[in-house]
């Protein structure tokens, strides 16, 4: 009798675990059906940390959007109207030069584009990256980090500047961890 009860409990345990295993397999399948690039500009390392977690979660390739001339702490001083970042952000046509080769976007169908929010916008180097790489045919999904701003205005500005791209729902990922990133990706279907 005890053996029968234990056998029934074991079968019930396996049956209970099956949906969770099936969901994990479905998530892996979703990830494997997409060729994903996680491109990010990070001046201080905060956005890069989130981008690494995101790339791990989707099984995507990580790409650093790197300026030809690195930003110094003086360049990032937002309180100084003459600092490099202030001057760039004050000029919507500013396009800081990139270091490195263009990305072969034909290798991807989804591109996550990450950045820190500066002056309620994406840094101008993000525009340089988008303009240097043909993302038509890719789903483009913004993500950002910020000390005080949300992502809504910066994402709207990018969508307005590049209306021919297929934009997905962006997300501010301040303090993100693997679980919160996974929840966002699940809502997006990745």
Specify whether the backbone of 100 is left (phi greater than 0), alpha (psi in -120 to 50) or beta: left
Task: Say what the pLDDT of residue 154 is.
Answer: 98
Task: Please give the average pLDDT of every successive group of 10 residues along the chain, which has 190 residues.
Answer: 43 43 40 86 96 97 97 95 96 96 94 97 98 97 95 98 97 95 95
Task: Say what the pLDDT of residue 27 is.
Answer: 41
pTM attached to this predicted model = 0.82
Q: How far is CA 51 from the centre of its chain?
A: 6
Task: Say what the pLDDT of residue 33 is.
Answer: 84
The SS3 assignment for 125 reads helix
Task: Say what the pLDDT of residue 32 is.
Answer: 55
Cα of first residue to Cα of last residue in the chain, in angstroms, is: 47
CB-CB contact of 94 with 154 (8 Å): no
Specify whether the backbone of 122 is left (phi greater than 0), alpha (psi in -120 to 50) or beta: beta
Task: Say what the pLDDT of residue 101 is.
Answer: 85
């Amino acid at each position: 009798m005890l053996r029968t009860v234990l056998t029934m409990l074991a079968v019930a345990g396996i049956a209970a675990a099956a949906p969770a295993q099936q969901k994990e397999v479905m998530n892996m399948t979703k990830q494997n059906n997409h060729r994903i690039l996680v491109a990010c500009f990070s001046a201080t390392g905060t956005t890069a940390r989130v981008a690494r977690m995101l790339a791990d979660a989707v099984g995507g390739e990580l790409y650093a959007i790197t300026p030809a001339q690195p930003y110094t702490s003086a360049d990032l001083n937002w309180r100084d109207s003459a600092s490099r970042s202030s001057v760039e952000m004050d000029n919507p046509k500013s396009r800081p030069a990139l270091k490195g080769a263009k990305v072969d976007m034909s290798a991807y169908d989804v591109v996550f584009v990450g950045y820190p929010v500066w002056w309620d916008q994406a840094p101008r180097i993000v525009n340089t990256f988008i303009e240097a790489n043909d993302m038509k045919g890719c789903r483009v999904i913004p993500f950002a980090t910020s000390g005080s701003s949300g992502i809504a205005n910066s994402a709207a500005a990018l969508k307005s500047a590049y209306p021919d791209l297929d934009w997905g729902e962006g997300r501010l990922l301040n303090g993100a961890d693997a679980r919160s990133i996974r929840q966002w990706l699940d809502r997006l279907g990745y």
